[in-house]
Amino acid sequence: MLFKKKKSTQPERRTRAPQTPTRQGAVFSYHANRSVREGVQVRDVEYQRSDVSKKRGFRSWRKHAPNFIITGVVLLVGLFFMQLSDKALVESVGVPSGQLFLREKAVYVAAVHDAFRSPINRNKLTVNTAKISHDLKAQFPELQTVSVSLPIIGTRPKVYIQPSIPKMILVGKGGMYVLDASGRALIAGNQVARLDDLGVPVVNDESGLDIKTGDIALPKNVVAFIQEVTGQLRSKKITITSLNLPLGTNELHLRTEKAGYYVKFNLHGDAREEAGTYLATKQYLESQKKTPREYIDVRVEHRAYYK
């Protein structure tokens, strides 16, 4: 009897078919594509933000542009008005009617313009007005005051000059000089434009002392004395022909027109009183038809002598 072959009861092994990595690749591709898309989106967002920022910056600049322009214009205008012209305006002050400058005014104007040609003096922040005034007074001792005024808005400064008033002309060893009320030598006579038009007494100094511009040539009281005596005589229409200060004395010798004598005055006395004494003596002598041969002496108070 034939026996059938028993089937093997051992389970048959099954092997998995190799699977292609499609899902893994899909997942990777998904992540990769997502990263790319996100990167593109980020760049797009950043670009949009940058574009918005640029637009905002442009709008902000355009908004503030008028302010920048106005500020720039103000700065330019400010810089312009801080500059000073060298053509300063020169004006005279304190000059009585008919009073002349001792020099031509053009001389002072030229000196002022030269002072403002310095780069330091061409700007309101650096200009030294005190030095300008000091230098002009040193250059022109005949100027009593010099002041500089700077414009607030304009560029042309003003310089105000006040000349000293001449009181007499003193002729000495060193030449002819114009004196002020203090006896200070203001200027040499040969530098005065119209010396004869000053209308001040001309006094001859026989002391032989040298005279220099800016120095005190005569004491103040002597100048005042001569001014008073000459004023009193001129008020009586008496023409004075000469005034002399003799060497080594405190006297003033005065000569008048058509008189063959001179008058002695005491410089330390009362000028008004001595002038009055002379006028009274002159009138008396004329009434008596008497004429002094040499002098009339009024140096002693309330007394007069003649010879």
The length of the chain is: 307
pLDDT at 196: 83
DSSP state at residue 208: -
pLDDT at 173: 84
What is the DSSP track for 110-163?
Answer: HHHHHHTTSGGGGBTTT--HHHHHHHHHHH-TTEEEEEEE--SSSS--EEEEEE
pLDDT at 54: 55
Is there a contact between 193 and 103 (Cβ–Cβ < 8 Å)? yes
pLDDT at 108: 92
* Rounded (5°) CA angle 157-158-160: 155
Nearest to 248 by CA among 220, 207, 204: 207
Round to whole Å and give the CA distance between 138 and 267: 32
Is there a contact between 169 and 179 (Cβ–Cβ < 8 Å)? yes
pLDDT at 290: 92
Residue ranges per domain, the chain? Answer: 89-163, 168-306
DSSP state at residue 166: P
Tens-level pLDDT at each residue, the chain (307 residues): 444 444 444 545 554 555 555 455 444 454 555 554 555 454 554 555 555 555 555 556 566 556 656 566 555 555 555 688 889 999 988 776 556 678 888 899 999 999 999 888 888 889 899 999 999 999 999 999 999 999 888 889 999 999 889 999 999 888 899 999 999 999 999 998 788 888 899 999 998 888 889 899 999 999 999 999 999 999 999 999 999 999 988 999 999 998 999 999 999 999 999 999 999 999 999 999 999 999 999 999 989 999 9
Pick among 3.30.70, 3.90.105, 1.20.58, 3.10.20: CATH of 89-163: 3.10.20
**Distances, alpha carbon 4 to alpha carbons 8, 10, 287, in Å:** 12, 17, 206
Round to whole Å and give the CA distance between 92 and 148: 12
Pick among 2.30.29, 3.40.1350, 1.20.950, 3.40.50: CATH of 168-306: 3.40.50
